[in-house]
Amino acid sequence: MNKQTFAGLFLVIHFFFPLAGRGQNPIIRNIYTADPSAHVWSDGRLYVYPSHDVDPPRGCDLMDKYHVFSTDDMVHWKDHGEILNANDVSWGRKEGGFMWAPDCAYKNGKYYFYFPHPSGTDWNKTWKVGIAVSTQPASGFVSQGYLDLGDDSRSMIDPCVFVDDDGQAYFYYGGGGRCVGTKLKSNMTEIAEPLKTMEGLKDFHEATWIFKRNNVYYLTYADNNTVNGKGANRLNYATSKSPLGPWTYGGVYLDPTSCDTSHGSVVEYKGQWYAFYHNSVLSGRGNLRSVCVDKLYFNKDGSIQKVVQTGMLSQ
């Protein structure tokens, strides 16, 4: 039995017969998902907002929809279904596709879903960050246009929105080696100040994520690491006393995950910190990825310990 056949059998068996105890990685098995953005909302559930790899695989240019998943025990995951499709984006690229890594934030009694999407056929030069809004965390989202981020949009993807303890929201995005951020206005649909470069990051590629612990801000991201000439991104982190830096590089906290890309998020739930990420062990293909989660631990000085990836098939 070859690796791909075994992976397919593994997917079928464990989708219908999940292992007991803590959820087995990958945690989502009914569809292929990547780029998980994890949040805990006031209803006590943990929600994950990922991108969706099309099966049969047709490439990242045809990723065209978003689902939402949630749990209250880190074992059983509910698929809330599709919340947004490229067809719902009136300003978007007429060919559709390119619904890449999203994020979600809560403020003013509403959930704001941010997603990168091109507005033109020349997709890499026309990236915008769309906004869909709902009063529910996993349904009812309606596209509301996009953030005005100026004309410099080449390769700029992977929006991240962080709401600080004082209610101030911050917006970040980046790709092609650049990461920028700024404050958002209270309406969550406009930037309050010009975008500024996040200084102090080492080998930034994409996948910005911000979280706060013990009054220290953490910025995590994917680097440009390769193995034997092939992409093997790792997840790195940096810290700061300010949500807009400057940042002090901290190191790698997640090694390559069996596919060329890496994208993750970090969240605390019921007293335990978790690292979300994706790999390709179920499919054996880098364009059919699956969301995973493992526990995250910190040293006494606040540095992050290397994540032990569980549920990996033999490589």
Which residues are catalytically annotated? 35, 206
**Is residue 136 within 8 Å of residue 123, measured between CB atoms?**
no
- Count of C-beta atoms within a 10 Å radius of residue 265: 26
Its sign, for the CA torsion 220, 204, 34, 311, is negative
3 state DSSP class of 3: helix
- Per the listing, tokens 């493992």 go with 294
d(CA 254, CA 290) in angstroms, rounded, equals: 16
How distant, in Å, are the alpha carbons of 9, 23, 276 from that of 281?
Answer: 12, 16, 15
CA atoms within 13 A of residue 115's CA, in its CB half-sphere: 34
In 24-126, at which residue ranges do the beta strands (DSSP E only) sit?
A: 32-40, 46-53, 65-71, 78-85, 103-107, 110-118
For 194-249, give the DSSP string.
--EE-TT-SS--EEEEEEEETTEEEEEEE---EETTEE---EEEEEESSTT---EE
| CB 45, CB 71: distance < 8 Å | yes
